[in-house]
Amino acid sequence: MNLRRFTQRLEECRKRWHHNTVRYVVGVARIVRAARRAAKDERRWCEWIRNEIHMNRTTVYRYLREAEFLKSNVDLGQHLASLSIVKLYALSRLHQPQARRLARSVSAHSMSDVAFLSKIQGCPRKVETRATLPNLSKSTIAALARLESSFRRWHQSALTMPLSVRIRLQSRLQAMSRALERMRKADAVAM
């Protein structure tokens, strides 16, 4: 299935609503969800995001989260309409009552994005992902892949790793190895 029609729809959405944050976010989210259904495969959908619409996958997920936040807070439409994408995303990550209170506040609308983010920095956030086997496995494998890549880059570069950094890394890796061994033993006892 060709996803080019979704690329064209997204470009039209960008041209039409780039000044209206709420409409733009909702429009992008609709198009991205439709493309995901049409792709029927997560890998094809991710390739489309990267190659066709030239967006970061994290940004796409942020737009989807913002659209869900907007959908669950329709009654705040006039308050949310004047907020930037940065503020909408920050609000979507907060607990609902606190996000609603901030959206209604006059100070949130007059603040810059940086000031707004620093204001909510201490606020408790919603839990992003649940601790499920696939989520934990994927995040652990991704972290190890990034670590391997970094080590490879150190090795290929002309730079030498300072002894203090090497000792600290070695200590942390040994601590992780011990934790993994404790988990293995606990699993063996549970069986």
Q: How many helices (H) and strands (E) does the chain have?
A: 11, 0
Quick one: average pLDDT of 143-157? 89
Q: How many domains, in total, are found in the chain?
A: 2
Task: Judge whether 115 lies within some domain.
Answer: yes
Q: Predicted confidence band at 178 (pLDDT cuts at 50, 70, 90)?
A: very high
Task: Judge whether 36 lies within some domain.
Answer: yes
**Nearest 5 degrees, angle CA 50-CA 66-CA 55?**
15
Are 83 and 9 contained in the same domain? yes
Give me the pLDDT at residue 173, please. Answer: 92
Give the burial class of 111: count Cβ atoms within 10 A of its Cβ; 0-12 exposed, 13-18 middle, 19 or more buried: middle
Task: Judge whether 74 lies within some domain.
Answer: yes
Instruction: Give the CA dihedral 134, 136, 138, 139, nearest 10 degrees.
Output: 160
| Residues facing 125 on adjacent strands | 94
Task: Give me the sign of the Cα torsion angle 78, 81, 82, 86.
Answer: positive
Are 16 and 106 contained in the same domain? yes
Quick one: average pLDDT of 127-134? 70
Give me the pLDDT at residue 19, please. Answer: 62
Q: How far is CA 32 from CA 17, 20, 91, in A?
A: 16, 18, 21
Are 23 and 59 contained in the same domain? yes
What residues have CB less than 8 Å from 40, skipping those under 6 apart? 1
Are 109 and 23 contained in the same domain? yes
Instruction: Give the CA dihedral 125, 126, 127, 129, nearest 10 degrees.
Output: -120
Each residue's pLDDT tens digit, 60-114: 888 888 888 888 888 888 888 778 878 888 888 888 888 888 888 888 778 888 8
The encoded tokens of residue 97 equal 């009552």
Are 49 and 81 contained in the same domain? yes
Task: Judge whether 137 lies within some domain.
Answer: yes
Q: Does residue 26 surpass a pLDDT of 90?
A: no
pTM of the full predicted structure? Answer: 0.57
The encoded tokens of residue 98 equal 């606190």
Which structural domain, as residue segments, surrounds residue 70?
A: 4-119
Which of 67, 97, 119 is a domain's end point? 119
What residues have CB less than 8 Å from 7, skipping those under 6 apart? 48, 52, 53
Question: pLDDT averaged over the chain?
Answer: 84
Query: Which of 7-11, 60-64, 115-119, 150-154 is predicted with the least confidence, judged by mean pLDDT?
Result: 7-11
Are 76 and 160 contained in the same domain? no
Are 111 and 139 contained in the same domain? no
Are 11 and 101 contained in the same domain? yes
Task: Judge whether 128 lies within some domain.
Answer: no
Q: How far apart are CA 24 and CA 18, in angstroms?
A: 6
Are 144 and 112 contained in the same domain? no
The more confidently predicted of residues 17 and 84 is 84
Are 115 and 139 contained in the same domain? no
Q: Which stretch, 17-31, 115-129, 158-172, has highest mean pLDDT?
A: 158-172
Which of 97, 119, 141 is a domain's end point? 119
Q: Does residue 123 surpass a pLDDT of 80?
A: no
The more confidently predicted of residues 9 and 18 is 9
Are 104 and 35 contained in the same domain? yes
